[in-house]
Amino acid sequence: MSFWRYSRRAIALVWSTHRALTVGLALLTLAAGLMPAGIAYLGKLIVDAVVAALAANQAGAAPDHAQVLLLVGLEGLLVAGLAGVQRGIDFCQSLLRVLLSQRVHFLILDKALTLSLAQFEDSELYDKLNRARQEASVRPLSLVNRTFALAQNLISLGSYAGLLLAFSPWAVAILVAAGLPAFVAETRFSGERFRAFQWRSPDRRMLAYLEIVLAREDHVKEVKLFELGNRLLTRFREIFRRIYAEEKRLTIRRDGWGFVLGLVSSSAFYGAYAWIALATIDGAISLGEMTMYLLLFKQGQSAVAAMLGAIGGMYEDNL
């Protein structure tokens, strides 16, 4: 419940920041979700048209060059349109990022004016305020962008599934199931990374403090007078090593599991590749359909991975 509640709050914040850009982003996301399936279907028509033209040529009839050229032109226009849509999405996101950053920073500074001196001296509250200043202008838009990315990939996956169902419902099931293990792992490690970031916040603040004491001219006299340089530098090194060890441990675990689960996804794709190729050899589907199904399965895998990655990122942004 809290996952979607915070997501709705972030969307409401972006909506109130600039409604026109938010609507534009939503419409462009819808177009970006539908167009790849159209490109794949046109590719199928092109291959089948070429095969038909070759058969006509071998039979001594006139091949239909005009149909092939028309289909190629249509696919080219659709690809160009998709590139324009992606540029439009980047444009809307860039402007929203600037506007939202200014607004959120204003809200944080306005809230800071209401805090008492005792509250500023509370280390836990000070950590929260610092994290808010560092991340609050980024996290809401990141959450909204991931929400739109999730919607885009859901639309794409739905259009891919509609075309793949003509081949076999099992192809759709394999497509979705292959991405689930990676999603579970990503969600788990997102939570661990966030908790580690919280635990390390006092250490990072201490590192920043030691760096200031050792490097700024208004502290150098005391450091040299009391011969504190080596002691403070040793403390700086110890804290850094502790942070690095934790980061290294998480990175090794995340990348190791990512590699293993990536093999599952690759195995699913090549299993489907063999299945579709054999169906083509047996005459169950045309060469154009084989080309389309292989492209749909590959793009569908990417859509599932991006969709589950967006959910994992949304989970992390909501933490």
CATH code of the domain covering residue 99: 1.20.1560.10
Q: Residue 135: is its pLDDT beyond 70?
A: no
Of residues 97 and 286, more confidently modeled: 286
| Buried b / exposed e along 267-302 (16+ C-beta atoms within 10 A) | ebbeebeebbeebbeeeebeebbbbbbbbbbbbbbb
- Residue linked to tokens 């990655």: 309
What is the pLDDT at residue 212?
A: 78
- Is 290 a residue whose pLDDT tops 60? yes
Q: What is the pLDDT of residue 145?
A: 81
Give the model's pLDDT for residue 150. Answer: 86
Confidence of residue 21 (pLDDT cuts 50, 70, 90): very high
Assess whether pLDDT exceeds 60 at residue 222: yes
What is the span of the domain harbouring residue 114? Answer: 2-318
Average pLDDT over residues 35-41: 94
Mean pLDDT of 255-267: 79
- Name the domain count of the chain: 1
Note the pLDDT of residue 230: 84
59-85: b or e for each residue (b if 16 or more CB lie within 10 Å)?
eeeebeeeebeebbeebeebeeebeeb
Lowest-confidence pick of 66-75, 143-152, 175-184: 175-184
State percent of the chain over pLDDT 70: 84
Residue 199 is predicted with a pLDDT of 64
Q: Could you tell me which of 250, 128, 252, 261 has the C-alpha nearest to residue 190?
A: 250
Q: Is the pLDDT of residue 113 over 60?
A: yes
